[in-house]
Each structure stands twice: as structure tokens, then as C-alpha cells.
Amino acid sequence: MQIRVHDLRAWTHDRHRVVDEPPYGGGTGMILKPEPVFEAVEALRVGPESRVLLLTPQGVPFTHGQAAALAAETHLVLLCGRYEGFDDRIRALVDLEVSIGDYILTGGELPALVVVDAVVRLVPGVLGDAASAAQDSFAGGLLEFPQFTRPPEYRGLAVPQILLSGNHEAIRRWRRKEALRRTLSRRPDLLTAAALSEEDRLLLKEVTREVQAEAGSPARLSIPLV
């Protein structure tokens, strides 16, 4: 696998290597002019197998599923805007528009790095252990279970006894239950979409009962962030 970075100014033809112009119709700031973008993408395409991605706040939300689909491609071109954006005609070059989230950044470079990071770890041979990509949370549709390492007690905080028991079946079941508990409490939207087994439904029922039991005991201090 190879990753290369290109400077749009390499596809300008003027002394000052200008890539931006003020927008027609007026407005603040500058936008990327179409010619360097068209020439860059035409130069970088290797054939019909190349997929051109545009990182923009107007794109479809980037997901693990998309990362997996992109990892199966042979050649990707990630197009990053700057300034106030780009001349809209460059969308003619683009196969897929993605956004990494609902917050405003100054350009598409960090979103491109986020996409690269999510995709490369799904390319065979990039992760040390290929199994870990299939194991991780969004692949399974749930949040991850809590993990611990030595020591068994630190500053009065104990590792759950079951993890020290050596009972692999009990540990597997505990982990699945804790993954379900976290997903239910933090990301219930993921549970709706997850493929749940009969065992999962049973574990969720146990979790729900425990949560109801906790409702009767004193709450911990919580400070809302929003």
C-alpha cells in the first residue's frame, strides 16, 4: 500500500501558482478555482478503478461501513478543499462526498487523514493481527467492553473478579453483557441497528433489571456537558 500527498499548486501555470479566486456574486474569502483541481485529478487517476472522494461538510456521514468499502478499492484520490470551499464544478470529478462530522474545520486535510486512518487499518497486512479489525466495536455494531490489565487493584479500584477467574466462557459472557450495557446507556441508537442474538436479548434483559435496581439507590454526581 502506498500513500502520496500532492500540492494543487503543482497544476497551476502562472508565476504565482494561484489556486484561489474570489467567488462570483460576491462574498467573503476565496474559493479554489476549478482548473488546478481538474488537472490534478486527471493526472492522478490511474484508470476507471480510481475512486475520487471529496471531503466536505455537505458529504454523507463517514462510517465504518464506508471505510470497509473503501478498503476494498484499489486506488483512491482524496480531494481536500480549503478557504471558503471550491468552485462547485469540481463535483463533476467526484465519486463520493463524505463528511467526518457536524462541526466546522478549516479544510478537508484533517478529514482526509481521518478517512485514511480508518481505511488503512482495514487493508490486509496493515494491522499486526487481522482478527482485531473484525473484532472491534463498530464492526460488531456495539461499543467495546471495558478492559483491564495489571495490577488487580490500583488505588482502591479493583479489576472485576471474573476477569481473573480463568473461566473463559464466563468472561466471554461478561464482556458481551458489558458491551451491551455501555451501548444501551451511551449509544442506544446503535442497539436498534445491531444484529442481536438470543443470548444478547437475555443479557440486555439482565442489564435492564440491574439498571432499574440502581434507580432505587443514590445517584452519582453527574455534570452535564451540554
Q: What amino acid positions are annotated as catalytic residues?
A: 57, 84, 121, 136
Q: How far is the CB of 105 from ligand JD8 (least distance, A)?
A: 4
- Sign of the CA dihedral running 130, 133, 136, 142: negative
| Residue 100 interacts with ligand JD8 (CB under 6 A): yes or no | yes
Residue placing its CB nearer to ligand JD8 in the complex, 103 or 128:
103
Segment 48 to 67, residues that bind ligand JD8, using CB under 6 A:
55-57, 59
Distance CA 146, CA 224 (A): 22
**Cell numbers standing for residue 219:** 445517584
- How many residues sit close enough to ligand JD8 to count as binding (CB under 6 A)? 18
Regarding 82 and contact with ligand JD8 (CB under 6 A), the answer is yes
Closer CB to ligand JD8, residue 105 or residue 211? 105
Quote the cell numbers at residue 169: 466462557
φ, ψ (nearest 5 deg) of residue 58? -90, 0
**Whole-angstrom Cα distance, residue 190 to residue 218?**
28
Q: Give 31 or 180: the residue with its C-beta nearer to ligand JD8.
A: 31
* Distance of alpha carbon 219 from alpha carbon 225, whole angstroms: 17
Q: Does 36 bind ligand JD8 (CB under 6 A)?
A: no
Tell me the residue ranges of DSSP E strands in 18-49: 20-21, 31-32
Q: Which is nearer to ligand JD8, 81 or 177 (CB)?
A: 81
Residues contributing to the site for ligand JD8 (CB under 6 A): 55-57, 59, 81-82, 84-85, 99-101, 103-108, 111
